[in-house]
Structure 1
Amino acid sequence: MDKWMSMKQVCAYLGISRDTAMKWIKNKEMRAHQIDRIWRFDKDEIDEWMRNNGKSPD
């Protein structure tokens, strides 16, 4: 899998809906990078976030 994932890919990877992903992004719980109108997710950041039980390391 590539380092960068799309919204569809991260939702499938985590087994969540797009609405849940957007809620997590809005609440700054999950890191995401918006390029123009497209959301991208760094797989390493998502894995680290999951290892921290969904808590941001910041």
Structure 2
Amino acid sequence: MSKEVMNIEEAAQYLSISERTLYKMVKENRIPARKVGRQWRFHKDALDSWLKGEEKG
């Protein structure tokens, strides 16, 4: 089952990168993400578009 909205751990696993790398990419605004409270959230469709080069962070 694929989640539509992922937390940092799930998104890192989905992208096959470390959480540390993902945090760095978020900080540099290189990947689409939204902050909810104190936590980052990633929409699967936005990540898929980003991977295809259709969307910037």
Report the TM range for the smaller structure's normalisation. Answer: 0.7 to 0.9
The Cα shift of 1:2 comes to 2.0
TM-score (ref. length: structure 2):
0.86
Deviation by residue 1:4-42 (Cα, 9 ceiling, x = unmatched): 011111011111111110111111110111111111100
Gaps of 5+ in 1: none
Runs of 4+ in 1 over 2 A off after TM superposition: none
Give the root-mean-square deviation of aligned CA atoms: 1.8
Equivalences, count: 56
- Residue correspondence of structure 1 range 3-18 to structure 2 within 5 A: 3-18=4-19
In the alignment, the residues of structure 1 paired with residue 15 and residue 50 of structure 2 have an alpha-carbon distance, to the nearest angstrom, of: 11
In the alignment, the residues of structure 2 paired with residue 2 and residue 16 of structure 1 have an alpha-carbon distance, to the nearest angstrom, of: 18
In the alignment, the residues of structure 2 paired with residue 38 and residue 14 of structure 1 have an alpha-carbon distance, to the nearest angstrom, of: 18
Q: Percent identity?
A: 30
